[in-house]
Amino acid sequence: MREIKLVIEYDGTNFVGWQTQQNGRSVQEEITKVLDQVLQEPISLIGAGRTDSGVHARAQVAGFRAKSALGVGSIHSALNGILPDDIYVRSVEEAPPGFHARFDAKERFYRYFIVLTPSAIGRMYHWYVKYDLNVDAMNAIARQILGDQDFESFCKYEAEVNHYRCTVTRSEWIQRGEELVYEIRANRFLHGMVRALVGTMVDVGRGYTPVEEFGAILQARDRRKAGMAAPPHGLFLEEVTY
């Protein structure tokens, strides 16, 4: 059996998320159907992370095992020739024996995009925030989550996890004119974690939640204490490192 690794870009607008579900179209299902067709065998495709409905990816990683001897170049061409336009496979390569896209990943890197003025063209790829935001206050909060922390306050209730600890190695807001970009890198992410963090930081930035309260929110281990989840369409999975 061969181990094959894919790097995938997708526009999440019209997907229910990465993972195959009964209630709509998923990225995993679309790619798996094409792989089954091209390789003429049933394929089990495993992704590095489960992006939510509406979330985008520039470099999602997925892996599968196959008996087929078809070359990686031919697999790559066939995938991009058949897949819909909102999925593009950036690369296909042989992976080491035993490769697991999820468990072998060392870090994931996300960006969240906010615009401070309305945009017709970018409306599905940014969150328009109408409030004046104190970016220094938001960065003060961003720095507080660096290191190994418990993020239960920023995890969806139904998440099935063994623990809520994540090690964050980058957390920063960058302002580029009327655009704000949040960059976060960690060894793992909980379900809904980035969107909950962004929503809470925006509450701090607009003065709704005092900076001094954030530590108590983090320590509470209670999702009800944190802010609303930011909309999914501003979030991009940028990179998975191994």
Catalytic amino acids? 52
Structure token digits, residue 56:
């985008």
Contact 96, 4 (CB under 8 A): no
Structure token digits, residue 187:
């060894």
Tally of CA atoms within 13 A in the half-sphere of 147 that contains its CB: 3
Cα separation of 201 and 166, whole Å?
18
Contact 168, 146 (CB under 8 A): yes
C-alpha torsion sign, points 66, 69, 71, 77 = negative
Tally of CA atoms within 13 A in the half-sphere of 168 that contains its CB: 21
Task: Give the distance from CA 193 to its chain's centroid.
Answer: 10
Q: How many residues are there in the chain? A: 242
Tally of CA atoms within 13 A in the half-sphere of 56 that contains its CB: 18
Structure token digits, residue 209:
């939640």
- Assign 3-state DSSP to the chain and report helix, strand, coil percentages, each to 5: 30, 30, 40
Judged by DSSP in three states, 112 sits in: strand
